[in-house]
Chain A
Amino acid sequence: MKSERLKITENRQITADIYKMCLLGAEKPLPGNFLELTIPGCFLGRPFGVAGYADGITEIYYRVVGEGTMKMTGMKEGEEVDALTGLGNSFDTNGVKKPLIVSGGLGFAPLKFLAESFVEKGITPLFVAGFKSRSDIVEFLKESGFSPVITTDDGTAGFHGSAVDYIKEKVPEFDRYYACGPMPMLKGMAAAFKGGQLSLEARMGCGFGACMGCSIMTTAGAKRVCKEGPVFSSEEVIFGD
Protein backbone atom coordinates (compact mmCIF):
# COMPACT_ATOMS: atom_id res chain seq x y z
CA MET A 1 0.00 0.00 0.00
CA LYS A 2 1.50 3.28 -1.09
CA SER A 3 0.44 6.75 -2.04
CA GLU A 4 2.20 7.59 -5.30
CA ARG A 5 2.11 10.11 -8.12
CA LEU A 6 2.06 8.36 -11.49
CA LYS A 7 2.65 9.65 -14.99
CA ILE A 8 0.34 8.62 -17.80
CA THR A 9 2.38 7.13 -20.64
CA GLU A 10 -0.52 5.82 -22.72
CA ASN A 11 -4.31 6.32 -22.78
CA ARG A 12 -5.87 4.71 -25.78
CA GLN A 13 -9.35 3.65 -26.91
CA ILE A 14 -9.52 -0.05 -27.74
CA THR A 15 -13.19 -0.86 -28.28
CA ALA A 16 -16.35 1.26 -28.30
CA ASP A 17 -16.22 1.70 -24.52
CA ILE A 18 -12.93 0.23 -23.31
CA TYR A 19 -9.68 2.10 -22.89
CA LYS A 20 -6.18 1.04 -21.92
CA MET A 21 -4.10 3.29 -19.69
CA CYS A 22 -0.43 2.93 -18.78
CA LEU A 23 0.99 4.65 -15.71
CA LEU A 24 4.65 5.06 -14.86
CA GLY A 25 6.12 5.15 -11.39
CA ALA A 26 4.43 2.63 -9.12
CA GLU A 27 6.23 0.00 -7.10
CA LYS A 28 5.80 -3.54 -8.45
CA PRO A 29 2.35 -4.86 -7.52
CA LEU A 30 1.30 -8.48 -7.12
CA PRO A 31 -1.17 -10.15 -9.48
CA GLY A 32 -4.60 -9.54 -7.95
CA ASN A 33 -3.73 -6.12 -6.51
CA PHE A 34 -5.66 -3.05 -7.54
CA LEU A 35 -5.05 0.69 -7.42
CA GLU A 36 -7.21 3.73 -6.73
CA LEU A 37 -6.84 6.66 -9.08
CA THR A 38 -7.64 10.18 -7.96
CA ILE A 39 -9.61 11.78 -10.77
CA PRO A 40 -9.63 15.59 -10.56
CA GLY A 41 -13.21 16.68 -9.88
CA CYS A 42 -14.29 13.33 -8.39
CA PHE A 43 -14.46 13.07 -4.62
CA LEU A 44 -13.70 9.35 -4.24
CA GLY A 45 -10.86 7.40 -5.83
CA ARG A 46 -11.65 4.99 -8.67
CA PRO A 47 -10.49 1.38 -8.22
CA PHE A 48 -8.98 -0.58 -11.13
CA GLY A 49 -7.37 -4.01 -11.26
CA VAL A 50 -3.72 -4.12 -12.31
CA ALA A 51 -3.60 -5.81 -15.74
CA GLY A 52 0.13 -5.82 -16.23
CA TYR A 53 3.42 -4.44 -14.98
CA ALA A 54 6.74 -4.04 -16.77
CA ASP A 55 9.61 -1.54 -16.51
CA GLY A 56 7.85 0.49 -13.84
CA ILE A 57 4.71 0.83 -15.94
CA THR A 58 1.35 -0.30 -14.57
CA GLU A 59 -1.28 -1.21 -17.12
CA ILE A 60 -5.03 -0.90 -16.55
CA TYR A 61 -8.08 -1.36 -18.77
CA TYR A 62 -11.20 0.65 -18.04
CA ARG A 63 -14.75 0.75 -19.30
CA VAL A 64 -16.41 4.15 -19.61
CA VAL A 65 -19.46 3.90 -17.37
CA GLY A 66 -19.83 7.21 -15.58
CA GLU A 67 -18.37 10.54 -14.64
CA GLY A 68 -14.96 9.39 -13.49
CA THR A 69 -14.14 7.05 -16.33
CA MET A 70 -15.48 9.63 -18.80
CA LYS A 71 -13.04 12.18 -17.34
CA MET A 72 -10.25 9.59 -17.62
CA THR A 73 -10.73 9.39 -21.39
CA GLY A 74 -9.69 13.04 -21.61
CA MET A 75 -6.43 12.59 -19.67
CA LYS A 76 -3.33 13.12 -21.76
CA GLU A 77 0.00 11.37 -22.02
CA GLY A 78 2.49 13.08 -19.72
CA GLU A 79 -0.21 14.13 -17.23
CA GLU A 80 0.30 13.08 -13.60
CA VAL A 81 -2.28 11.44 -11.36
CA ASP A 82 -2.28 10.64 -7.66
CA ALA A 83 -2.91 7.02 -6.82
CA LEU A 84 -3.04 4.59 -3.95
CA THR A 85 -1.21 1.53 -5.23
CA GLY A 86 -0.60 -2.06 -4.23
CA LEU A 87 -4.06 -2.36 -2.66
CA GLY A 88 -5.76 -5.61 -1.70
CA ASN A 89 -4.48 -9.17 -1.52
CA SER A 90 -3.18 -11.27 -4.39
CA PHE A 91 -3.89 -14.55 -6.17
CA ASP A 92 -2.47 -17.63 -4.50
CA THR A 93 -0.39 -19.51 -7.05
CA ASN A 94 1.57 -21.71 -4.67
CA GLY A 95 2.11 -25.19 -6.08
CA VAL A 96 -0.28 -24.63 -8.98
CA LYS A 97 0.81 -26.48 -12.13
CA LYS A 98 -2.31 -26.50 -14.32
CA PRO A 99 -4.06 -23.17 -13.87
CA LEU A 100 -7.39 -22.45 -15.53
CA ILE A 101 -8.21 -18.77 -15.93
CA VAL A 102 -11.75 -17.63 -16.71
CA SER A 103 -12.90 -14.11 -17.42
CA GLY A 104 -16.14 -12.39 -18.30
CA GLY A 105 -15.90 -9.02 -20.05
CA LEU A 106 -13.36 -6.69 -18.46
CA GLY A 107 -12.72 -9.32 -15.80
CA PHE A 108 -9.74 -10.29 -17.91
CA ALA A 109 -7.81 -7.30 -16.53
CA PRO A 110 -6.39 -8.68 -13.25
CA LEU A 111 -6.22 -12.16 -14.79
CA LYS A 112 -3.99 -10.99 -17.61
CA PHE A 113 -1.36 -9.98 -15.04
CA LEU A 114 -1.81 -13.34 -13.32
CA ALA A 115 -1.42 -15.23 -16.63
CA GLU A 116 1.76 -13.31 -17.40
CA SER A 117 3.19 -14.20 -14.00
CA PHE A 118 2.49 -17.90 -14.70
CA VAL A 119 4.17 -17.62 -18.11
CA GLU A 120 7.22 -16.06 -16.42
CA LYS A 121 7.42 -19.19 -14.27
CA GLY A 122 7.27 -21.41 -17.35
CA ILE A 123 3.65 -22.45 -16.86
CA THR A 124 1.17 -21.85 -19.66
CA PRO A 125 -2.33 -21.43 -18.23
CA LEU A 126 -5.53 -22.21 -20.10
CA PHE A 127 -7.23 -18.80 -20.42
CA VAL A 128 -10.89 -18.67 -21.39
CA ALA A 129 -12.05 -15.12 -22.02
CA GLY A 130 -15.73 -14.40 -22.57
CA PHE A 131 -17.09 -11.31 -24.30
CA LYS A 132 -20.58 -10.18 -25.35
CA SER A 133 -19.88 -9.94 -29.05
CA ARG A 134 -17.10 -9.82 -31.65
CA SER A 135 -16.81 -6.02 -31.42
CA ASP A 136 -16.20 -6.20 -27.65
CA ILE A 137 -13.18 -8.47 -27.88
CA VAL A 138 -9.96 -7.05 -26.50
CA GLU A 139 -6.83 -8.76 -27.75
CA PHE A 140 -5.08 -8.40 -24.46
CA LEU A 141 -2.58 -11.23 -24.58
CA LYS A 142 -0.95 -10.57 -27.92
CA GLU A 143 2.45 -9.76 -26.47
CA SER A 144 2.50 -12.59 -23.93
CA GLY A 145 3.07 -15.24 -26.55
CA PHE A 146 -0.04 -17.34 -25.98
CA SER A 147 -3.63 -16.85 -26.94
CA PRO A 148 -6.77 -17.23 -24.87
CA VAL A 149 -9.83 -19.20 -25.92
CA ILE A 150 -12.41 -16.61 -26.90
CA THR A 151 -16.12 -17.05 -26.32
CA THR A 152 -18.94 -14.68 -27.25
CA ASP A 153 -22.47 -14.65 -25.91
CA ASP A 154 -23.89 -14.11 -29.40
CA GLY A 155 -21.56 -16.49 -31.20
CA THR A 156 -20.12 -13.83 -33.51
CA ALA A 157 -16.60 -15.02 -32.67
CA GLY A 158 -15.02 -18.05 -31.04
CA PHE A 159 -17.11 -20.42 -28.94
CA HIS A 160 -20.82 -19.57 -28.85
CA GLY A 161 -21.76 -19.02 -25.20
CA SER A 162 -20.20 -17.71 -22.00
CA ALA A 163 -16.79 -18.64 -20.67
CA VAL A 164 -18.52 -20.70 -17.99
CA ASP A 165 -20.56 -22.55 -20.67
CA TYR A 166 -17.30 -23.38 -22.43
CA ILE A 167 -15.75 -24.88 -19.34
CA LYS A 168 -18.87 -26.85 -18.47
CA GLU A 169 -18.87 -28.30 -21.99
CA LYS A 170 -15.17 -28.98 -22.51
CA VAL A 171 -14.30 -29.84 -18.88
CA PRO A 172 -10.61 -28.96 -19.17
CA GLU A 173 -8.20 -30.34 -16.59
CA PHE A 174 -6.97 -27.93 -13.91
CA ASP A 175 -5.62 -27.95 -10.38
CA ARG A 176 -6.85 -24.44 -9.57
CA TYR A 177 -9.03 -21.95 -11.35
CA TYR A 178 -9.08 -18.17 -11.22
CA ALA A 179 -12.14 -16.17 -12.22
CA CYS A 180 -13.11 -12.52 -12.54
CA GLY A 181 -16.19 -11.02 -14.13
CA PRO A 182 -19.81 -10.14 -13.37
CA MET A 183 -21.29 -11.53 -10.10
CA PRO A 184 -23.67 -14.01 -11.81
CA MET A 185 -20.72 -15.51 -13.65
CA LEU A 186 -18.65 -15.87 -10.48
CA LYS A 187 -21.62 -17.39 -8.70
CA GLY A 188 -21.99 -19.84 -11.62
CA MET A 189 -18.34 -20.84 -11.45
CA ALA A 190 -18.40 -21.27 -7.67
CA ALA A 191 -21.54 -23.42 -7.90
CA ALA A 192 -20.11 -25.64 -10.66
CA PHE A 193 -16.46 -26.00 -9.65
CA LYS A 194 -14.55 -26.19 -6.39
CA GLY A 195 -11.00 -25.02 -5.80
CA GLY A 196 -11.18 -21.58 -7.33
CA GLN A 197 -10.09 -18.07 -6.58
CA LEU A 198 -12.55 -15.30 -7.39
CA SER A 199 -11.72 -11.64 -7.77
CA LEU A 200 -14.67 -9.47 -6.65
CA GLU A 201 -15.76 -5.86 -6.96
CA ALA A 202 -17.62 -3.57 -4.58
CA ARG A 203 -18.34 0.12 -4.30
CA MET A 204 -15.61 1.51 -2.10
CA GLY A 205 -15.27 4.41 0.27
CA CYS A 206 -11.54 4.19 0.86
CA GLY A 207 -9.99 1.15 -0.84
CA PHE A 208 -7.62 0.37 2.03
CA GLY A 209 -9.71 -1.05 4.87
CA ALA A 210 -10.77 1.99 6.89
CA CYS A 211 -14.49 2.47 6.25
CA MET A 212 -16.07 -1.03 6.08
CA GLY A 213 -17.88 0.17 2.97
CA CYS A 214 -17.03 -2.93 0.94
CA SER A 215 -17.53 -5.83 3.37
CA ILE A 216 -19.02 -9.05 2.04
CA MET A 217 -20.21 -12.04 4.04
CA THR A 218 -18.04 -15.15 3.93
CA THR A 219 -18.08 -18.49 5.71
CA ALA A 220 -15.44 -16.99 8.01
CA GLY A 221 -17.41 -13.83 8.78
CA ALA A 222 -17.34 -10.39 7.22
CA LYS A 223 -14.37 -9.59 5.00
CA ARG A 224 -13.43 -6.40 3.21
CA VAL A 225 -13.16 -6.65 -0.58
CA CYS A 226 -10.45 -3.97 -0.51
CA LYS A 227 -8.30 -5.51 2.23
CA GLU A 228 -8.90 -9.25 2.81
CA GLY A 229 -9.91 -9.33 -0.91
CA PRO A 230 -10.46 -8.65 -3.75
CA VAL A 231 -9.41 -12.30 -4.21
CA PHE A 232 -11.50 -14.83 -2.28
CA SER A 233 -11.70 -18.61 -2.38
CA SER A 234 -14.75 -19.90 -4.24
CA GLU A 235 -15.76 -21.87 -1.15
CA GLU A 236 -15.81 -18.94 1.27
CA VAL A 237 -17.94 -16.38 -0.59
CA ILE A 238 -21.60 -16.30 0.43
CA PHE A 239 -23.44 -15.03 -2.63
CA GLY A 240 -26.59 -12.94 -2.28
CA ASP A 241 -29.37 -13.07 -4.86
Chain B
Amino acid sequence: MDNPVIPASGTFGFGYEFNNWFDISVLGSIALKGTTIEARYGNPLPRIAECPAGMINAIGLQNPGAVAVRDIELKKLAAVYPKKVIANVGGHSFGEYVETSAILSAAEEVFAIELNVSCPNVKGGGMAFGLDAGVLEELTAAVKEASSKPVIVKLSPNVTDITVLAKAAERGGADGLSLINTLVGMRIDLRTAKPIISVKRGGYSGPGVFPVAVNAVYNTREAVSLPIVGMGGIMNAENVIEMMYAGADCVMVGTLNLIDPCGSKKIIEDLPGVMERLGIDKLTDIVGRAHR
Protein backbone atom coordinates (compact mmCIF):
# COMPACT_ATOMS: atom_id res chain seq x y z
CA MET B 1 0.00 0.00 0.00
CA ASP B 2 1.29 3.45 -0.90
CA ASN B 3 -0.24 5.09 2.16
CA PRO B 4 -1.72 3.78 5.39
CA VAL B 5 -5.17 5.45 5.25
CA ILE B 6 -8.17 3.28 4.34
CA PRO B 7 -11.84 4.29 4.55
CA ALA B 8 -13.57 1.97 7.05
CA SER B 9 -16.30 -0.48 6.18
CA GLY B 10 -19.82 0.93 6.13
CA THR B 11 -18.77 4.56 5.88
CA PHE B 12 -17.70 4.59 2.24
CA GLY B 13 -20.41 2.54 0.53
CA PHE B 14 -18.80 0.54 -2.28
CA GLY B 15 -16.42 3.41 -2.88
CA TYR B 16 -17.16 4.56 -6.40
CA GLU B 17 -19.69 7.21 -5.41
CA PHE B 18 -16.95 9.06 -3.51
CA ASN B 19 -15.18 9.63 -6.80
CA ASN B 20 -17.68 12.47 -7.27
CA TRP B 21 -16.05 14.22 -4.29
CA PHE B 22 -12.36 13.55 -4.93
CA ASP B 23 -10.00 11.35 -6.92
CA ILE B 24 -10.24 8.21 -4.78
CA SER B 25 -7.09 6.70 -6.27
CA VAL B 26 -5.14 8.55 -3.54
CA LEU B 27 -6.50 6.08 -0.98
CA GLY B 28 -4.24 3.24 0.18
CA SER B 29 -7.15 0.85 -0.16
CA ILE B 30 -10.89 0.79 0.56
CA ALA B 31 -12.89 -1.42 2.95
CA LEU B 32 -16.24 -2.22 1.37
CA LYS B 33 -19.64 -2.14 3.05
CA GLY B 34 -20.34 -5.26 5.11
CA THR B 35 -21.62 -7.99 2.83
CA THR B 36 -23.76 -11.04 3.60
CA ILE B 37 -24.63 -14.04 1.47
CA GLU B 38 -28.20 -12.84 0.77
CA ALA B 39 -29.28 -9.27 0.05
CA ARG B 40 -30.45 -7.47 3.20
CA TYR B 41 -32.62 -4.39 3.64
CA GLY B 42 -31.40 -3.90 7.19
CA ASN B 43 -33.21 -2.33 10.13
CA PRO B 44 -36.28 -0.06 10.00
CA LEU B 45 -35.73 3.71 10.24
CA PRO B 46 -34.55 5.63 12.20
CA ARG B 47 -31.11 4.08 11.99
CA ILE B 48 -29.08 7.12 13.03
CA ALA B 49 -28.82 9.10 16.25
CA GLU B 50 -26.49 12.00 16.83
CA CYS B 51 -24.12 12.18 19.83
CA PRO B 52 -22.01 15.07 21.17
CA ALA B 53 -18.83 13.62 19.67
CA GLY B 54 -20.05 11.09 17.17
CA MET B 55 -23.08 9.12 16.16
CA ILE B 56 -24.94 5.88 16.72
CA ASN B 57 -25.86 3.77 13.73
CA ALA B 58 -28.02 0.70 13.40
CA ILE B 59 -27.96 0.09 9.66
CA GLY B 60 -28.32 -3.68 10.08
CA LEU B 61 -25.92 -4.60 7.28
CA GLN B 62 -27.95 -3.35 4.35
CA ASN B 63 -26.24 -4.75 1.26
CA PRO B 64 -27.12 -6.32 -2.10
CA GLY B 65 -25.66 -9.76 -1.29
CA ALA B 66 -22.29 -11.37 -2.05
CA VAL B 67 -22.88 -12.23 -5.71
CA ALA B 68 -24.19 -8.75 -6.57
CA VAL B 69 -21.24 -7.19 -4.75
CA ARG B 70 -18.82 -9.35 -6.76
CA ASP B 71 -20.52 -8.90 -10.14
CA ILE B 72 -21.83 -5.32 -9.92
CA GLU B 73 -20.40 -3.20 -7.09
CA LEU B 74 -16.79 -4.41 -7.45
CA LYS B 75 -16.91 -3.83 -11.20
CA LYS B 76 -18.22 -0.28 -10.77
CA LEU B 77 -15.46 0.39 -8.26
CA ALA B 78 -12.76 -1.15 -10.45
CA ALA B 79 -13.73 1.28 -13.23
CA VAL B 80 -12.61 4.23 -11.09
CA TYR B 81 -10.19 2.68 -8.59
CA PRO B 82 -7.24 0.64 -9.84
CA LYS B 83 -6.02 -0.73 -6.50
CA LYS B 84 -7.11 -3.80 -4.60
CA VAL B 85 -9.75 -3.55 -1.89
CA ILE B 86 -10.80 -5.23 1.37
CA ALA B 87 -14.12 -7.09 1.36
CA ASN B 88 -15.98 -6.93 4.68
CA VAL B 89 -17.96 -10.07 5.49
CA GLY B 90 -20.90 -10.38 7.89
CA GLY B 91 -23.19 -13.29 8.67
CA HIS B 92 -25.57 -15.16 10.95
CA SER B 93 -23.94 -18.58 10.87
CA PHE B 94 -20.61 -20.27 10.18
CA GLY B 95 -21.99 -21.35 6.83
CA GLU B 96 -22.88 -17.82 5.76
CA TYR B 97 -19.49 -16.41 6.74
CA VAL B 98 -17.67 -19.20 4.96
CA GLU B 99 -19.73 -19.00 1.78
CA THR B 100 -19.55 -15.20 1.55
CA SER B 101 -15.80 -15.22 2.17
CA ALA B 102 -15.28 -17.85 -0.52
CA ILE B 103 -17.23 -15.81 -3.08
CA LEU B 104 -15.59 -12.47 -2.32
CA SER B 105 -12.03 -13.73 -1.87
CA ALA B 106 -12.21 -15.20 -5.35
CA ALA B 107 -12.77 -11.75 -6.87
CA GLU B 108 -9.59 -10.38 -8.43
CA GLU B 109 -10.27 -6.86 -7.06
CA VAL B 110 -10.15 -8.16 -3.47
CA PHE B 111 -6.81 -8.59 -1.68
CA ALA B 112 -8.12 -9.41 1.80
CA ILE B 113 -11.24 -10.45 3.68
CA GLU B 114 -12.19 -8.48 6.78
CA LEU B 115 -14.29 -10.69 9.01
CA ASN B 116 -16.89 -8.59 10.79
CA VAL B 117 -17.60 -10.56 13.96
CA SER B 118 -18.32 -7.41 15.86
CA CYS B 119 -21.36 -5.74 14.31
CA PRO B 120 -23.75 -4.90 17.15
CA ASN B 121 -26.63 -4.28 14.77
CA VAL B 122 -27.77 -7.65 13.57
CA LYS B 123 -29.97 -9.76 15.81
CA GLY B 124 -28.79 -13.26 16.64
CA GLY B 125 -25.57 -12.90 14.73
CA GLY B 126 -22.67 -10.64 14.01
CA MET B 127 -21.30 -9.67 17.36
CA ALA B 128 -22.15 -12.99 19.01
CA PHE B 129 -19.28 -14.54 17.03
CA GLY B 130 -16.86 -11.94 18.29
CA LEU B 131 -17.56 -12.23 22.01
CA ASP B 132 -16.63 -15.86 22.68
CA ALA B 133 -13.00 -16.82 22.22
CA GLY B 134 -13.73 -20.46 21.36
CA VAL B 135 -16.32 -19.58 18.74
CA LEU B 136 -14.12 -16.88 17.24
CA GLU B 137 -11.15 -19.23 16.90
CA GLU B 138 -13.26 -21.84 15.15
CA LEU B 139 -14.91 -19.30 12.84
CA THR B 140 -11.57 -17.76 11.93
CA ALA B 141 -10.18 -21.18 11.07
CA ALA B 142 -13.24 -22.04 8.95
CA VAL B 143 -13.11 -18.77 7.00
CA LYS B 144 -9.35 -19.04 6.61
CA GLU B 145 -9.86 -22.45 5.04
CA ALA B 146 -12.48 -21.13 2.61
CA SER B 147 -10.75 -17.90 1.69
CA SER B 148 -8.11 -17.70 -1.02
CA LYS B 149 -6.90 -14.33 0.35
CA PRO B 150 -5.58 -13.15 3.74
CA VAL B 151 -8.17 -12.87 6.52
CA ILE B 152 -8.32 -9.87 8.84
CA VAL B 153 -10.51 -10.37 11.90
CA LYS B 154 -12.35 -7.23 13.03
CA LEU B 155 -12.67 -7.15 16.79
CA SER B 156 -15.42 -5.75 18.99
CA PRO B 157 -14.66 -3.34 21.83
CA ASN B 158 -17.77 -4.61 23.64
CA VAL B 159 -15.78 -7.12 25.69
CA THR B 160 -14.00 -7.10 29.04
CA ASP B 161 -10.60 -7.89 27.58
CA ILE B 162 -10.06 -7.50 23.85
CA THR B 163 -6.72 -9.31 23.98
CA VAL B 164 -8.48 -12.60 24.77
CA LEU B 165 -10.32 -12.33 21.45
CA ALA B 166 -7.21 -11.11 19.64
CA LYS B 167 -5.33 -14.22 20.74
CA ALA B 168 -8.24 -16.45 19.77
CA ALA B 169 -8.23 -14.98 16.25
CA GLU B 170 -4.47 -15.49 16.08
CA ARG B 171 -4.86 -19.14 17.09
CA GLY B 172 -7.57 -19.51 14.43
CA GLY B 173 -5.03 -18.46 11.83
CA ALA B 174 -5.93 -14.81 11.23
CA ASP B 175 -3.47 -12.91 9.03
CA GLY B 176 -4.26 -9.61 10.74
CA LEU B 177 -6.61 -7.85 13.11
CA SER B 178 -8.66 -4.71 12.72
CA LEU B 179 -10.08 -2.80 15.67
CA ILE B 180 -12.27 -1.35 16.92
CA ASN B 181 -15.79 -1.78 15.65
CA THR B 182 -18.48 0.41 17.20
CA LEU B 183 -19.42 0.52 20.89
CA VAL B 184 -22.98 -0.42 21.82
CA GLY B 185 -24.90 2.75 22.65
CA MET B 186 -28.36 4.31 22.94
CA ARG B 187 -29.92 7.76 22.71
CA ILE B 188 -33.40 8.59 23.99
CA ASP B 189 -35.60 11.26 22.41
CA LEU B 190 -36.39 13.90 25.05
CA ARG B 191 -39.76 14.66 23.48
CA THR B 192 -41.10 11.10 23.22
CA ALA B 193 -39.00 9.44 25.99
CA LYS B 194 -38.35 6.56 23.55
CA PRO B 195 -35.04 5.36 22.08
CA ILE B 196 -34.34 7.26 18.84
CA ILE B 197 -33.06 4.17 16.99
CA SER B 198 -35.85 1.84 15.83
CA VAL B 199 -34.11 -1.22 17.24
CA LYS B 200 -33.21 0.81 20.36
CA ARG B 201 -29.44 0.25 20.35
CA GLY B 202 -26.77 0.85 17.81
CA GLY B 203 -23.04 1.25 17.39
CA TYR B 204 -21.36 4.39 18.67
CA SER B 205 -18.51 5.76 16.56
CA GLY B 206 -16.70 9.02 15.93
CA PRO B 207 -14.16 11.12 17.87
CA GLY B 208 -15.71 10.19 21.23
CA VAL B 209 -14.46 6.60 20.88
CA PHE B 210 -10.88 7.52 19.92
CA PRO B 211 -9.31 7.03 23.41
CA VAL B 212 -11.08 3.67 23.73
CA ALA B 213 -9.67 2.64 20.35
CA VAL B 214 -6.12 3.77 21.17
CA ASN B 215 -6.22 1.72 24.38
CA ALA B 216 -7.58 -1.33 22.56
CA VAL B 217 -4.86 -1.13 19.90
CA TYR B 218 -2.15 -0.61 22.53
CA ASN B 219 -3.27 -3.64 24.53
CA THR B 220 -3.64 -5.80 21.44
CA ARG B 221 -0.15 -4.86 20.21
CA GLU B 222 1.26 -6.25 23.46
CA ALA B 223 -0.75 -9.45 23.23
CA VAL B 224 -0.23 -10.60 19.64
CA SER B 225 2.33 -10.24 16.87
CA LEU B 226 -0.17 -9.95 13.99
CA PRO B 227 -0.41 -6.81 11.85
CA ILE B 228 -3.03 -4.42 13.27
CA VAL B 229 -5.39 -2.08 11.44
CA GLY B 230 -6.28 0.63 13.96
CA MET B 231 -9.53 2.55 13.84
CA GLY B 232 -12.13 4.29 15.93
CA GLY B 233 -12.67 8.04 15.99
CA ILE B 234 -9.80 9.08 13.72
CA MET B 235 -10.53 12.66 12.61
CA ASN B 236 -7.15 14.02 11.49
CA ALA B 237 -3.53 13.23 10.66
CA GLU B 238 -2.43 13.64 14.30
CA ASN B 239 -4.89 10.90 15.28
CA VAL B 240 -3.30 8.62 12.66
CA ILE B 241 0.14 9.11 14.20
CA GLU B 242 -1.21 8.48 17.70
CA MET B 243 -2.91 5.29 16.57
CA MET B 244 0.32 4.09 14.96
CA TYR B 245 2.31 4.93 18.12
CA ALA B 246 -0.18 2.68 19.95
CA GLY B 247 0.67 -0.17 17.60
CA ALA B 248 -1.37 0.11 14.41
CA ASP B 249 0.42 -0.80 11.16
CA CYS B 250 -2.16 1.14 9.18
CA VAL B 251 -5.47 2.82 9.96
CA MET B 252 -9.05 3.04 8.85
CA VAL B 253 -11.12 6.20 8.89
CA GLY B 254 -14.86 5.74 9.37
CA THR B 255 -17.34 8.29 10.62
CA LEU B 256 -15.27 11.24 9.40
CA ASN B 257 -16.19 10.28 5.82
CA LEU B 258 -19.85 10.84 6.67
CA ILE B 259 -19.50 14.37 7.96
CA ASP B 260 -16.81 15.37 5.47
CA PRO B 261 -16.78 13.38 2.22
CA CYS B 262 -13.23 14.60 1.55
CA GLY B 263 -12.04 13.77 5.10
CA SER B 264 -9.89 10.76 4.19
CA LYS B 265 -8.21 12.69 1.39
CA LYS B 266 -7.48 15.64 3.69
CA ILE B 267 -5.80 13.30 6.21
CA ILE B 268 -3.57 11.89 3.47
CA GLU B 269 -2.66 15.43 2.38
CA ASP B 270 -1.97 16.57 5.95
CA LEU B 271 0.16 13.57 6.97
CA PRO B 272 3.51 14.70 5.49
CA GLY B 273 3.30 18.08 7.26
CA VAL B 274 2.44 16.51 10.60
CA MET B 275 5.23 13.95 10.19
CA GLU B 276 7.72 16.69 9.47
CA ARG B 277 6.59 18.69 12.49
CA LEU B 278 7.06 15.60 14.69
CA GLY B 279 10.37 14.64 13.13
CA ILE B 280 9.05 11.41 11.61
CA ASP B 281 10.84 10.11 8.49
CA LYS B 282 8.93 6.96 7.72
CA LEU B 283 5.58 5.88 9.15
CA THR B 284 6.81 2.29 9.41
CA ASP B 285 9.33 3.52 12.02
CA ILE B 286 6.68 4.65 14.43
CA VAL B 287 4.46 1.57 14.67
CA GLY B 288 4.20 0.71 18.36
CA ARG B 289 6.63 3.45 19.41
CA ALA B 290 4.58 4.02 22.58
CA HIS B 291 5.69 0.57 23.74
CA ARG B 292 9.39 1.28 23.53
Contacts and interface: CB of A to CB of B under 8 A. Distances in A.
Contacts of B39: 221
Interface residues of B, number: 35
B11 A240 contact: no
A210 B196 CA distance: 21
Given A44-B48, A210-B13, A210-B257, 15 more contacts: A38-B259, A44-B259, A203-B45, A203-B46, A203-B48, A205-B258, A206-B258, A206-B261, A210-B12, A210-B258, A211-B10, A211-B57, A213-B57, A214-B48, A222-B62
Interface string B38-53: 0101101111111111
A50 B292 CA distance: 55
B47 A1 contact: no
B150 interface: no
A198 B70 CA distance: 33
B17 interface: yes
A209 B13 contact: yes
Contact of B48 (A42, A84, A205, A227): A205
Interface string A204-232: 11101111111111000110000100000
A206 B255 CA distance: 9
Contact of A215 (B18, B21, B42, B53): B42
A43 B55 contact: yes
A212 B44 CA distance: 11
B80 interface: no
B20 interface: yes
B48 A210 contact: no
B121 to A, nearest CB: 11
A214 B55 CA distance: 14
B91 interface: no
B54 to A, nearest CB: 6
A175 to B, nearest CB: 32
Contacts of B13: 209-212
